[in-house]
Amino acid sequence: MDTRGEDACYARIPRVTYPFGAVVGMDDMRLALLLNAVSPAVGGVLVRGEKGTAKSTTVRALAAVLPAVAVVPGCRFACDPAAPDPDCPDGPHDADAAGRTRPARLVELPVGATEDRVVGALDLERALTEGVKAFEPGLLAAAHRGVLYVDEVNLLHDHLVDLLLDAAALGRAYVEREGVSVRHAARFLLVGTMNPEEGELRPQLLDRFGLTVEVSAPRDPVQRAEVVRRRFAYDADPSGFADSWAMQEAELAARIADARARLPHVVLSDGALRQVTSVCAAFDVDGLRADIVTARAAIAHAAWNGRDAVTEDDVRVAARLALPHRRRRNPFDAPGLDEDTLEQALSDARPDGGDPADGDPGDGPDGPDGPDGGDPPPGSGPSADGSTQETPGADAGTEAPSPSSAPRGAGAGSTEAGAAPERAAVAPSDPFRTRRLEVPGIGGGAAGRRSRARSERGRVVGSTRPSGTVTRLHLTDTVLAAAPHQRARGRTGPRLRVRREDFRQATLEGREGNLVLFAVDASGSMGARARMGAVKGAVLSLLLDAYQRRDKVGLVTFRGAGADLALPPTWSVETAAARLTGLTTGGRTPLAAGLLRAHEVLRVERIRDPQRRPLLVVVTDGRATGTRGGTPLADAHAAAGLVASAGVASVVVDCETGPVRLGLAGTLGALLGGPTLGMADLAAESLAATVRSARKVA
């Protein structure tokens, strides 16, 4: 086969980075990136937005305008020749040695990266057999004095996000394996991007990012046209397009360098500091990290605009970037700031006579620099693949849909004679902390917090002979394997002689994330307002639990004449909560159709993601009715047997209430091969009370 066409196609792939100044709009995102470029101590940027909004293009373009760095020749850790790292594994370096200059690096972290790939790996075999501390640097070392970019950071496992944020905050990376440790400098600009539809970061991790911005595509046809125009020009001639922006890129790089030089001399007066703390207190953020980040961002903004003192407008801009994501208490809260509260907090902390920092009134929101207190970044007219920046907090994706916007099938019920009429959507009751529902057995899927699994993190449960490089040494078993052979190996001193065949790889048991599929009965038998509100509150609580345990979630609803997939499996619990809130009730109970639809969804998902074990949660009272006669209850039981035969772990949540109960949900749970829990049994407190009672009886 002739592959010359393919080779030519690959040869045309542009290798020139899209210019930062040519990005259209996205003013808040670019400003947040530039403030971190001026002062990496701000703590990085998290960019949240829909797909196709030039998030990655803008981040990659930033590295090209960062000032070049001087490095020690041959040092794998990019030490500064003027102040080499005393702990550098490649050191010690001669302070008088000549350095070389290279561009700042952009290092991209893949979602599937391992811990050793991120922080570096120690060669334990050489350390034990030869006494040599051999260290292979990771991505943190490569990103030192540059940019570390994590696309889809919300899909990265929590412990890796913690490692990145710790290194960004401390400016150092630590690697420890079985008593052998290495540390090195790791100061970088951390940038994470994510699509909220694919799931959220935990609030504890959100708080660790210094600044957060929301982005969306522009709605103005003129601006969208400019995006397309520039993109076509870039694709046709990348080098020529970059050359046309070279002067603005050079000016931007010089401005960043000037702001960095000015930064240590910027004064944060007591008045400006009072405004920072007043704003943070007004928005009731947790802890003091928000105050520190806001103050650092205000100082960086002042330096960026060539000022030697922080003004009220610097505080205003910093608060808009540093506080929205810190106001969230759970994943269903929309980020954002109330502008009236912000202005009132600034006013309350303002001493009589004006700006606490005695700044130039012309630098304020009504001055010539515009609403963000500074000149927009060069080239801030239209964007690369185009988008404009939304005001922080405009996260429409977290709003609950109205009943009329409920998913197809979830809000349409049978109006045949004898069928219960459709009822309007009922608001869910308050969520509560639920007991952990698990998939039996030991899996090996994606790391999470629900079911037992073999993983790279967790407690040591044994050891095996390594098939390749030893990454987790089981020291005790290694010593026990080597001990019987010491006399044969001619040991004459106290030192233990260890060979390759003695090494044992530690086997760890941790937790995995699962696919939690909810099958919710939305028929007329569930339609009492108080009852359906409690049911929705219980499912909402389980959704919150799934979010915290890093699960994928899906939602099947059944009512009327059939069942619908209201939400395909996703990581976005926000979307699931919105669909659940807008769920209406009414009609007959096609329980068999609901179970069969759930079975089909799980079958397809098992093909797509075979390592993620499913957990089916059926929320129903167990009743089954049909519209055309037949044996609906027998059909439902047959469908339950089909689900059980597929090896799907199931839990039935019994919603039946009243003095007379049929116990149909319990029968369904037995056929599915899983437990049946009452609504009250879902709460973690009820489980704890049951355990305490059992102990007293014992």
CA dist 551 and 545 (Å) reads 9
In a domain? residue 329: yes
Residue 88 sits in the same domain as residue 102: yes
pLDDT digits (tens, 9 = 90+) for 284-293: 888 888 999 9
CA distance 553 to 574: 10
- For residues 490 and 530, membership in a common domain is answered with no
Q: Give yes or no: residues 426 and 313 share one domain.
A: no
Active-site residue, selected from the candidate residues 105, 117, 289, 449: 289
410 and 548 both lie in a single domain: yes
**pLDDT over 60 (residue 355):** no
Query: Which pair of structure tokens corresponds to residue 592?
Result: 């068999």
Whether residue 204 is contained in a domain is answered as yes
Q: What would the mean pLDDT of 609-630 be, rounded to a whole number? A: 84
- Convert the pLDDT of each residue in 252-302 to its tens digit: 999 999 999 999 999 999 999 999 999 999 888 888 889 999 999 999 999
For residues 271 and 185, is the Cβ–Cβ distance under 8 A?
Answer: no
**Together in a domain, 157 and 249:** yes
Indicate the number of domains in the chain: 4
For the chain, the average pLDDT equals: 79
CATH code of the domain in which 356 resides: 1.10.8.80
Give 335's pLDDT tier (boundaries 50, 70, 90): low
353 has pLDDT over 90: no
- Residue range 470-494: mean pLDDT, rounded: 79
What is the pLDDT, as a whole number, of residue 550?
A: 79
Asked if residue 431 has a cis previous peptide bond (ω within 30° of 0), the answer is no
Q: Residues near 653 by Cβ (< 8 Å), separated by ≥ 6?
A: 538, 617, 618, 619, 620, 665, 676, 677, 678, 679, 682
Separation of alpha carbons 287 and 424, rounded Å: 41
CB-CB contact of 507 with 460 (8 Å): yes
At residue 412, does pLDDT exceed 70?
Answer: no
Boundary of a domain, candidates 241, 256, 271: 256
Q: Is residue 376 part of a domain?
A: no
Instruction: Let me know if residue 98 belongs to a domain.
Output: yes
pLDDT tens digits, 304-334: 999 999 999 999 999 999 998 887 656 666 6
Res 418 pLDDT > 60: no
Domain boundary among 240, 256, 272: 256
> What element of type H or E holds 229?
helix 221-236
- Alpha carbons 124 and 132: distance in angstroms, whole number: 9
* CATH code, domain with 235: 3.40.50.300
Q: Which of 613-622, 668-677, 689-698 has the lowest mean pLDDT?
A: 689-698
Pair 538, 502 in one domain: no
In a domain, 382, yes or no: no
Specify if 384 maps to a domain.
no
Separation of CA 221 from chain center: 32
Which span out of 212-226, 420-434, 571-585, 640-654 was modeled with the highest average pLDDT? 640-654
Answer yes or no: is 372 within a domain: no
The CATH number of the domain holding residue 409 is 3.40.50.410
The pLDDT-based confidence of 383 (bands split at 50, 70, 90) is very low
Mean pLDDT for 208-236 is 90
**Same structural domain for residues 238 and 301?**
no
Amino acid 271: pLDDT: 92
Better pLDDT: 244 or 536: 244
**Residue 221 and residue 250 in one domain:** yes
My answer on whether 34 and 129 are in the same domain is: yes
Same domain, 191 and 232: yes
Domain boundary among 232, 256, 280: 256
Kindly report, residue by residue over 105-136, the tens digit of the pLDDT: 889 988 778 888 888 877 766 666 666 667 78
151 domain residue, yes or no: yes
Q: Which domain range does residue 463 map to?
A: 454-512
Note the pLDDT of residue 414.
38
**Residue 116 shares a structural domain with residue 131:** yes
Concatenated DSSP letters for 98-139?
--EEEPPPEEEEPTT--HHHHHEEE-HHHHHHT----EEE-H
Residue 191 and residue 111 in one domain: yes
| pLDDT on residue 257 | 93
> Greater confidence, 448 or 18?
18
Contacts with 177 (C-beta within 8 Å, 6 or more apart), sequence order? 122, 124, 473
The least confident of 109-118, 288-297, 406-415, 677-686 is: 406-415
Q: Quote the pLDDT of residue 245.
A: 93
Percent of the chain residues topping a pLDDT of 90: 28
The question of whether 12 is a catalytic residue gets the answer no
Mean pLDDT of 53-82: 88
pLDDT for residue 6:
35
